[in-house]
């Protein structure tokens, strides 16, 4: 649980208080929440508007569940579906979700999803997934995980649906900030298959092979990007 005497890193409920009992905290998730939410509010209605009926945003790699809890209410009636390959994260996701007052929109129950195994994704047409969002995943996992994510997104998303990737990226082989060089060294020390991915040389071509067309990349705080891909 967060130190209740410490200043909160965001005033977005329920991130305006300490982590609930049974939940894990993530200061970076608190810091970037408002910036990410602003982009989602701008772009998601175009992919999940009323003409589609009830729609779902599928989050891949929810981790402790801060974003799911903070974004479900502001983006309603869009349903937020958190997933994580590690089942031991699901208790934290549920604890954050259950901290939302009754009567307000909560995330759907979390599901186990391995991004690198798209044949096993626990979603189908009844989920009406129109948007897939993944923050800080493809650089801290082997490249086949990213390839699986593109494969799965290409299968699940309808025409015009969005895949949105948040995190650090290289552009045309170059890092966008000095801190990313040290971050890359740290990632590789964890697993030599990890790494900050090159948006232009790796991500865009690999996504295109699964019918996902690059729309744009939006600069975000701390040298991160929000990469937006659209199902063709």
Q: For position 154, which CATH number holds? A: 3.40.50.150
- Reported as a single tens digit per residue, the pLDDT across 138-163 is 999 999 999 999 999 999 999 999 99
The reply to whether 132 falls in a domain is: yes
Cβ-proximal residues to 169 (8 Å cutoff; 6+ apart), any chain: 139, 176, 196, 197, 198, 199, 203, 217, 225, 227
Distance (Å, whole) CA 193 – CA 191:
5
The reply to whether 109 falls in a domain is: yes
Percent of all residues in the chain with a pLDDT value above 70, rounded to a whole number:
94
The reply to whether 8 falls in a domain is: no
Looking at the structure of the chain, the number of domains it has is 1
Contact in structure between 137 and 153 (CB atoms under 8 Å): no
The reply to whether 207 falls in a domain is: yes
pLDDT for the residue numbered 2: 42
**How large is the average pLDDT for residues 132-140?**
97
Q: Report CA-CA distances (Å) from 154 to 70, 118, 125, 148.
A: 27, 10, 13, 10
Tell me: pLDDT of 5 over 50.
no
The reply to whether 14 falls in a domain is: no
Contact in structure between 8 and 30 (CB atoms under 8 Å): yes
The reply to whether 2 falls in a domain is: no
The reply to whether 22 falls in a domain is: no
Which structural domain, as residue segments, surrounds residue 34?
A: 27-231
pTM of this structure: 0.94
- Reported as a single tens digit per residue, the pLDDT across 196-208 is 999 999 999 999 9
Distance (Å, whole) CA 93 – CA 71:
13
The reply to whether 107 falls in a domain is: yes
pLDDT for the residue numbered 25: 96
Cβ-proximal residues to 41 (8 Å cutoff; 6+ apart), any chain: 74, 75
Angle, nearest 10°, between helix axes 90-98 and 66-75?
A: 40
pLDDT for the residue numbered 7: 64
């Amino acid at each position: 649980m967060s130190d209740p005497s410490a200043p909160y890193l965001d005033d977005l409920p329920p991130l305006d208080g300490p982590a609930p009992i049974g939940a894990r905290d993530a200061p970076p998730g608190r810091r970037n929440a408002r910036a990410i939410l602003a982009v989602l509010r701008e772009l998601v209605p175009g992919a999940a508007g009323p003409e589609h009926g009830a729609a779902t945003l599928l989050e891949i790699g929810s981790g402790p569940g801060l974003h799911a809890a903070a974004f479900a209410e502001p983006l309603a009636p869009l349903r937020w579906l958190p997933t994580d390959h590690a089942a031991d994260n699901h208790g934290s996701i549920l604890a954050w979700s259950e901290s939302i007052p009754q009567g307000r929109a909560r995330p759907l129950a979390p599901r186990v999803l391995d991004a690198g195994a798209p044949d096993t994704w626990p979603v189908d047409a009844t989920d009406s997934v129109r948007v897939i969002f993944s923050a800080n995943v493809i650089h801290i996992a082997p490249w086949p995980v990213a390839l699986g994510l593109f494969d799965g997104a290409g299968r699940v998303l309808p025409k015009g649906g969005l895949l949105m990737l948040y995190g650090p990226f290289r552009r045309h082989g170059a890092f966008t900030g000095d801190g990313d060089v040290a971050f890359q060294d740290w990632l590789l020390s964890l697993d030599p298959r990890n790494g900050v991915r090159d948006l232009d040389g790796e991500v865009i071509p690999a996504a295109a092979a699964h019918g996902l067309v690059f729309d744009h990349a939006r600069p975000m705080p701390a040298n991160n990007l929000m990469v937006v891909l659209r199902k063709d």
